[in-house]
Structure 1
Amino acid sequence: MWRFKPFMPKEQAGLEGRTIDIGNLKIQVRNAIAEGGFSCVYLARDAIHGTKQYALKHIICNDEESLELVMREISVMKLLKGHPNVVPLSAHTIFDMGRTKEALLVMDYCEKSLVTMLDNRGAGFLEEKQIFTIFRDVCNAVFAMHCQSPPIAHRDLKAENLLLGPDGLWKLCDFGSTSTNHKRFEKPEEMGIEEDNIRKHTTPAYRAPEMWDLFRRDIISEKVDIWALGCLLYRICYLKSAFDGESKLQVLNGNYRIPELPKYCTSLTDLIRDMLQSSPDSRPDITQASTFLDWLLLLGF
């Protein structure tokens, strides 16, 4: 889990203060703004054009698996290059440090995340049009992924991974958990490996039922993103998680409720319910969800 640290002064460490050549960019690294287990995101600026700011993601790869995740993240971002709802990758490089490899990804800097915006609202709920506008941006990014052949599942859609760009559009980031390996897991050894991947690379509050219990024998596919979108839409509407305790049983039993207040249109609450169908086959696909959103916005919601 990323830990954001916007107001935490600390001693210079890691890459802070360094000037680094990455691709055709020369950037000056400033302070760390978020950190995970083996990675850190820094605020950086263009050393030549000083007004241009970047987010520099520094990832330490201790094994082949972590290097593969980085390569996958770079590959997906290059594939989605130019999409208005995907954080742009400006440059990247991988340094061979002997025992480890260190990856540096330079992305456009987005000052605000959706989770920060929602957490700072207090009890100030969003209006329907705002909700649909934010959610359409998210669905546009997911649409671009699911329309690839084979479809790319993000697998870690959540409010923390949505950033507000300087152009006013919401942008999806963090593509290290993506997968095109859509299958039903039958063998115990395969289940064990997949359960470990799910535990390490997905977020419990957004995790679909078929990921919690592989013995359901559902195909784990891009439909896990539809469930996560349902959880995200619930969070945007009600400023809390659909499954408060992040409990496996809550998710498997579909144990959530739509609050009475604020009162939203039935089209919105029906969309949440459709996306949070326990069976992946019962959920809409991203084309159906996006078309429905476009229709609602056309009607003036």
Structure 2
Amino acid sequence: MWRFKPFMHKEPAGLEGRSIDVGTLKIQVKNVIAEGGFSCVYLARDLVHTSKQYALKHIICNDEELLELVMKEISVMKLLRGHPNVVTLYAHAIMDLGRTKEALLVMEYCDKSLVTVLDSRGAGFFDEKQVLAIFRDVCTAVFAMHTLSPPIAHRDLKAENLLLGPDGLWKLCDFGSTSTNHKRFEKPEEMGIEEDIIRKHTTPAYRAPEMWDLFRRELINEKVDIWALGCLLFRICYFKSAFDGESKLQILNGNYRIPELPNYGSSITDLIRDMLQASPDDRPDITQASALLDWPFISMNLGVVSC
């Protein structure tokens, strides 16, 4: 998801009002809906099928690192295309402007994020059925990523990256942080590089203990998403974070408290506890998590339903 703050790196007029071709699509760019340091997201309308709307993500790639992130996002979205709980990528283009490159991603338009829904509910907590409906959608998307070979870790699962689609399903977005580089870091120089990546591309309040302290020398793999799912489930249930994201020791020790109210059943509270185990070896994988709640998930790589 994109931060709502001034966009400093676009042309003064932006893309508003322009008609552009992206792949085979002809679209008219409408108003800005989100902005970030190097990216801007617009509402766009299909000029052929005029009732169809899109989200157009415009990214200015000032260096190779940012271009690599964009290419990764495109690659993962293409790989997961067709999954009901992943935001659809319809078309994309990379334009070489000499000193910089610009990327255009035409995506499914979703008008709400989970954080917007949570913030607008006041004290109206979800009932257990609603909690599980939201959580199942995100877990189904994560299951599709984790069951690929090699497994893809999202690494930045959070309420801001869950969007409500026009079909009523919750959809995962923002795949620039993804990784298949699952390893245990031993050398100080490797640790320094990985710490910089973690700092830039993960969110403190959802960051797993093994990512906070590489000197623990624990395997960093898709289990970081399981921790983040535990944080996300806590947020959905109690409208606040299990960890404030600033207390490193609190997170390293898995030190949090489940509120007494609202009072959810043990299937939910036990799953939070299982996912928020400080050691990744003690957390369930996404298949075990589905079994705990008796959920069948769609496996993208096999094309069958797995339990």
Aligned to 1:161: 161
Deviation string for 1:70-93 (max 9, x for gaps)? 111100000001000000000000
Unaligned 5+ segments in structure 1 are 6-10, 297-301
Aligned to 1:8: none
Aligned to 1:171: 171
Aligned to 1:201: 201
CA contact (8 A) 1:183 1:219 kept: yes
Aligned to 2:41: 41
Q: CA deviation at 1:47?
A: 1.4
| 1:277 correspondence with 2:277 | yes
- Aligned partner letter, 2:112: K
How do 1:118-129 and structure 2 match up within 5 A? 118-129=118-129
SS in 2 for 1:33: strand
Separation in 2, partners of 1:102, 1:294: 44
Deviation string for 1:206-250 (max 9, x for gaps)? 000000000000011000000000000000000000012532121
Aligned to 1:135: 135
Aligned to 1:263: 263
- Aligned partner letter, 2:48: I
Separation in 1, partners of 2:134, 2:47: 33
What number of residue pairs does the alignment pair up?
291
Separation in 2, partners of 1:130, 1:20: 40
SS in 2 for 1:130: helix
Aligned to 1:253: 253
Separation in 1, partners of 2:188, 2:295: 44
Q: CA deviation at 1:292?
A: 2.2
Q: CA RMSD in A?
A: 1.5
Deviation string for 1:60-112 (max 9, x for gaps)? 11111111111111000000010000000000000001011000000010111
SS in 2 for 1:43: strand
Ranges of 4+ aligned residues in structure 1 off by more than 6 Å: none
Separation in 2, partners of 1:127, 1:27: 40
Q: CA deviation at 1:14?
A: 1.3
Aligned to 2:219: 219
Separation in 2, partners of 1:206, 1:244: 9
SS in 1 for 2:103: strand
CA contact (8 A) 2:267 2:293 kept: no
Q: TM-score, normalised on structure 1?
A: 0.94
- Aligned partner letter, 1:54: Y
Q: CA deviation at 1:295?
A: 5.2
Q: CA deviation at 1:277?
A: 0.2
